[in-house]
Amino acid sequence: MDIEFEVKYGLDGVAVAISSISCVDGEKGKLVYRGFEIEDLIQNSNFEETAYLIWFGSLPNENELDFLISMLSKKRELPNQIIEMMKLFPKNSHPMEVLRSVVSMLGMYSKKENSTFENAINLTAKIPTIIAYWYRIRNDLPLIKPKESLKHSENFLYMMFGKIPEHFNLFDKALILHEEQGMNASTFASTVTASTLSDIYSIITTAIGTLKGPLHGGANEKVLKMFDEIGSIENVEFYINNLIEKKEKIMGFGHRIYKTYDPRAKILKNWIKEIFINNNIKYFEIALKVEEIVVNKFKDKKIYPNVDFYSGILYNYFGIPKEFFTPIFAMARIVGWTAHAMEYCKNNRIFRPKAIYNGPKNLKYKEVKGVE
């Protein structure tokens, strides 16, 4: 066996790039995009402006922001052929399967002369349409066409439900929270694809496939499934202790980098708390009890709620079914994925790590007798 190299399972602690896009301080529980703390951005910014910041490195002036908003709002519609194909998809397809497949299909409909950035804008504009159209198609509802006059997140909720709900601005801010998060699994996977000089549609298809897993973005859907299984506050203790006894991972808890409260979970929890004062928000009390038990139990391991623990409660409040939670994550994170792909490729080197071989050696080929 090759013992020269140490294996870093999960690339724990390994740096694969130098980046100026975001900084995740896991000890202090801080998230910073391009020098701006996330708390500052959710207070003062919106999805489009933060996207500009992440892509270009500084906040836009009025003209620059108008230009980006107008580019995004004009590119929302999907080619007719794709809409017709979506109508033929099996109705029980998971929205993440549909998103992954349609993003891949869009590559065939993109203009070959487009720059990577134009394609990034094109996909960022179209992902909400894919999600909303699939919601309408699988529920046998007529499609609601995108409206150019509406902002990115407003337009998404409008295409889903035909109206813009109360507290919609919290949905927009939740997108800000999800736009970027350093070299997480899906960003890394998509950067690997980018490092082969593949196209942006392949890069984002890779990212969506990686985000889908329950250890990554897929956790938000699993959290709500867990709340449903728990059913009522009286069952929380028994349910969670049973998971702990079986050494199963509790969805929505733990993080490779955050060894304290994930700042995004803290923000989401506070928003929900504020709405909860006047409305009975489903799952919130169960969530608080789950958090209390898990945080107490795993104090030494420093396991706290992550972004996926509270985001689903907010989306559920807007009437969004749980299978659509991870696609919404993707709808925001495409900004980070594309920003990293473009940044890495400025100083590109193909990713090619190694695996240490521990299989047999020096075998000699022998014809297998008796096999026709």
Ligand X SMILES: CC(C)(COP(=O)(O)OP(=O)(O)OC[C@H]1O[C@@H](n2cnc3c(N)ncnc32)[C@H](O)[C@@H]1OP(=O)(O)O)[C@@H](O)C(=O)NCCC(=O)NCCS
- Active site (catalytic) residues: 255, 308
> With contacts defined by CB under 6 A, how many residues of the chain interact with ligand X?
17
Structure-block tokens of residue 63: 């003209």
* CA dist list (Å): 44 to 7, 38, 40, 176: 43, 10, 6, 11
Residue type, 367: E
Contact by Cβ (8 Å): 34, 54 = yes
Kindly state whether residue 250 participates in binding ligand X, applying the rule CB under 6 A. yes
Beta strands in 255-294 (DSSP E): none
Q: Contact, 144 vs 132, CB < 8 A?
A: yes
At its nearest, how many Å lie between ligand X and the CB of residue 285?
20
What is the three-class DSSP state of 2? coil
Closest chain position to ligand X (CB) = 254
**Min separation Cβ 310 and ligand X, Å:** 11
Q: Which is nearer to ligand X, 76 or 255 (CB)?
A: 255
**What would the x/- binding string for ligand X be over residues 283 to 302, using CB under 6 A?**
------------------x-
Stretch that binds ligand X, among 170-178, 201-209, 252-260, 319-327 (CB under 6 A): 252-260
Q: Rounded to the nearest whole angstrom, what is the least distance from the CB of residue 253 to ligand X in the complex?
A: 4
Would you give the binding string for ligand X spanning residues 306-345, x where CB under 6 A is met? xxx-------------------------------------
DSSP string of 112-165?
TT--HHHHHHHHHHHHHHHHHHHHHHHTT-------TTS-HHHHHHHHHHSS--
The DSSP element (H or E) to which 25 belongs, if any, is strand 22-25
Buried/exposed 302-338: b ≥16 CB within 10 Å, e otherwise: ebbbbbbbbbbbbbbbbebebbbbbbbbbbbbbbbbb
- Told to check if 254 binds ligand X by CB under 6 A, we report yes
Least Å from the CB of residue 308 to ligand X: 5
Q: Which stretch binds ligand X (CB under 6 A): 58-66, 128-136, 192-200, 254-262?
A: 254-262
Q: Which of 141, 215, 233, 356 binds ligand X (CB under 6 A)?
A: 215
CB neighbour class for 110 (10 Å; exposed up to 12, middle 13-18, buried from 19): middle
Q: In the set 24, 72, 200, 251, which binds ligand X (CB under 6 A)?
A: 251
Residues near 237 by beta carbon (within 8 Å), at least 6 away in sequence: 289, 293
Among 36, 253, 325, 344, binds ligand X (CB under 6 A): 253
Interface region with ligand X, contact rule CB under 6 A, candidates 120-128, 153-161, 245-253, 355-363: 245-253
Query: Does the footprint of ligand X cover residue 86 (CB under 6 A)?
Result: no
List contacts with ligand X (CB under 6 A). Answer: 10, 215-216, 219, 249-256, 301, 303, 306-308
